[in-house]
Amino acid sequence: EVQLLESGGGLVQPGGSLRLSCEAYGFTFNLYAMGWVRQAPGKGLEWVSSVSGSGGRTHYADSVKGRFIISRDHSKNTLHLQMNGLRGDDTALYYCARGSGYSPDSWFDYWGQGTLVTVSS
């Protein structure tokens, strides 16, 4: 059974940093692209970033480019999102999601339950 377990969310001040993690279970991690999608309170879904199965291709939404870094650790079957320069509009529930294939240009077929990031002073 595919499972994605996010962690690392919390309260952080504007300008601060946070590192999210997503532990993956139930599939061969390095064969699938992975991504992060966020949802601000009461709002819709916003794609944040995706990475290919190998980790060699990464993509970012314009709203986070230059501030967030996506990476994956194949030894630990874990996806990360390093978030720097956090702003109030980064406040959201961050979902980890599996791509349907090796390449990141695909739909998301499994989602975690999310980890909440709150940016506030």
Partner 1 sequence: EIVMTQSPDTLSVSPGERATLSCRASQSVSNNLAWYQQKPGQAPRLLIYGASTRATDFPARFSGSGSGTEFTLTISSLQSEDFAVYYCHQYENLPQFTFGPGTRVEIK
Contacts to partner 1 by CB under 8 A? 35, 37, 44-47, 50, 59-62, 95, 100, 104-114
**In terms of CB distance, is 9 or 35 closer to partner 1?**
35
Q: Between 44 and 75, name the residue whose CB sits nearer to partner 1.
A: 44
Least gap, CB of 101 to partner 1 (angstroms): 11
Q: How far is the CB of 108 from partner 1 (least distance, A)?
A: 7
SS (H, E, C) the chain: CCEEEEECCEEECCCCCEEEEEEEECCCHHHCCEEEEEECCCCCEEEEEEECCCCCCEEECCCCCCCEEEEEECCCCEEEEEECCCCHHHCEEEEEEEECCCCCCCCEEEECCCEEEEECC
Q: Which is nearer to partner 1, 62 or 75 (CB)?
A: 62
| Cβ 16 to partner 1 shortest distance, Å | 26
